[in-house]
Chains A and B, each alone.
Chain A
Amino acid sequence: MTDHAWRELAGAYALGALEPEEAARFEEHLAGCAACRADVQAFREVAGLIATAAPVATPDPALRDRVMREARQVRPMRRRAPLVPWLAAAASLVLAIGLGVGLQRARHDLAAAQDSLAQQAQLIAVVLSPDAQTVALASKGQPPSVRLFWNPAQHRIVISARNLPPAPAGRTYQLWAIARGQAPVSVGVFNTTPDGRLIAALDVPANLLFQVTAVTEEPAGGSPQPTQTPFLVGELPRSE
């Protein structure tokens, strides 16, 4: 294809109007073509402006409260993927909790993270990219895989989920920390991306002791106490 022909695709690509195969070929070309990248960026800005022309519709003031409430429960990832270096650096301190996957696997993942920080950072960027392609995984019968990496010193849990379809509209997932004989304590709400993935950091209340973690599906915004039987449960290793 000539350079000219490639550039004719930039607008449709920015609009998301290319067929998936065509978009994939164009992306390969984009990697080495600054002119097309500049065109795509300009047309993405045009698309962003088209959005502003949608007929006026004013959100309910309660929606702002909901956004702020949900934000308080999930901390933003830190700048430019220091998440993974932090994981690697803290690997010797981190207690890994296997939820559906064993401790060995979690350790293996941490080692892999140390080996390929750049790759992992790229992976995160891909996973969280706002225009990532959506693939339905729910029907493939793969069990959801959720792993937690808990750093007690920093009161922080990093949650990593795969093959977990997003909670239905109006619902969310909620992570609970449970000490034996006591009521569960909410660690926070989370949801997966349409492709069933999530990597996020959640703050744990300081000095909270717990032996069990569990995930339930709750109404959007989360619940003070679980309203459902957990569908994922994991116990801390007894090495503590």
Chain B
Amino acid sequence: MPIQTDRSGTPDRALVARMGTGEERALGELYDRHSRMAYALAMTIVGERADADEVVADAFGQAWRTAGQFDPARGSVTAWLATITRTRALDLARARGRRARVLERAAQSGDGLAAPVASVGRAPDRAAEQHEARALVVRSLAELPEPQRRVIELAYFGGLTQTEIAAELSEPLGTIKTRIRAALEKLRGALAPLLSEGEA
């Protein structure tokens, strides 16, 4: 699957297996492939570079310590790293007594996010395949009806539950549930090319 391999063709899961045996170079390679994703995710949630550094260092530390427990049958390395990073970032935001950055933006703009969280900005050194995969994700999010995209952003980047989103947006809980379900189903379909090839 394009997003999970680089030109050398070593699958992510092989890197993680090598990390599990204590091979530091494999951690370095994993970092080179995924640190931008992890850092961008952390920045979107915590908003400060020093905090994002903390989150990413902790996340890769946890990935290093627990690489031996990683089970490729349960999902991709990207999803695993994203889960670890997101959890750490939301924990740090809460420990700081702050709401995730995405919510502040929502509050400031009054009636919703000033601009969608997902953006097409380009990192020039990003591997071409990774860039293409990301472009598809950004496009798929952009093609969602705005209310659906907003609930996904509040849930994923804001760490809110459905009930909290309903309160945030002053909308009925049932409406929020329906939107989340519809949005995820659409994304699942739109992103099928990145999902169907399974683990690299």
Contact = CB atoms under 8 A, between A and B. Distances in A.
Nearest to B188: A46
Contacts, number: 230
Contacts of B157: 54
B40 interface: yes
B200 interface: no
A51 to B, nearest CB: 4
Given A48-B76, A55-B40, A130-B80, A16 B159 contact: yes
Nearest to B32: A64
Nearest to B63: A130
Contacts of A48: 75-76, 78-83
A12 interface: yes
B163 A46 contact: no
B57 A51 contact: no
B99 interface: no
B66 A77 contact: yes
B35 A59 contact: yes
Given A41-B75, A49-B78, A80 B185 contact: no
B155 to A, nearest CB: 4
Interface in B162-190: 162-163, 165, 177, 180-181, 184-185, 187-188
A206 interface: no
Q: Which of B82, B86, B152, B162 has the most CB of A within 10 A?
A: B82
Interface in A63-91: 63-64, 66-68, 70-72, 74-81
* Interface size of A as a range: 35 or more
B65 A77 contact: yes
A92 interface: no
A141 interface: no
A137 to B, nearest CB: 13
B113 interface: no
A184 interface: no
Contact of B161 (A8, A19, A49, A77): A19
Nearest to A121: B69
A118 interface: no
Interface string A23-54: 00000000000000000011111111111111
A183 B172 CA distance: 63
Given A19-B163, A70-B57, A49 B184 contact: no
Interface residues of B, number: 86
Given A130-B80, A130-B87, A52 B3 contact: yes
Contacts of A79: 20-21, 68-69
A1 interface: no
A56 B40 contact: yes
A220 B195 CA distance: 37
B64 A76 contact: yes
B194 to A, nearest CB: 6
A80 B181 CA distance: 35
A112 interface: no
Contact of A43 (B19, B39, B161, B184): B184
6 closest pairs, A vs B, by CB? Answer: A48-B79, A53-B118, A11-B184, A51-B82, A54-B40, A79-B68
20 contacts: A8-B177, A19-B163, A41-B74, A46-B191, A48-B83, A49-B3, A50-B187, A53-B134, A57-B40, A64-B28, A64-B32, A67-B61, A68-B24, A68-B28, A76-B64, A76-B66, A77-B65, A132-B87, A169-B54, A170-B50
Given A44-B79, A130-B80, 5 more contacts: A45-B195, A50-B141, A52-B3, A77-B65, A79-B68
Interface of B: 3, 19-22, 24, 27-28, 31-32, 35-37, 39-41, 43-44, 49-54, 56-58, 60-62, 64-69, 74-76, 78-87, 91-92, 94-96, 117-119, 121-123, 130, 133-134, 137-138, 141, 152, 155-157, 159-163, 165, 177, 180-181, 184-185, 187-188, 191, 194-195
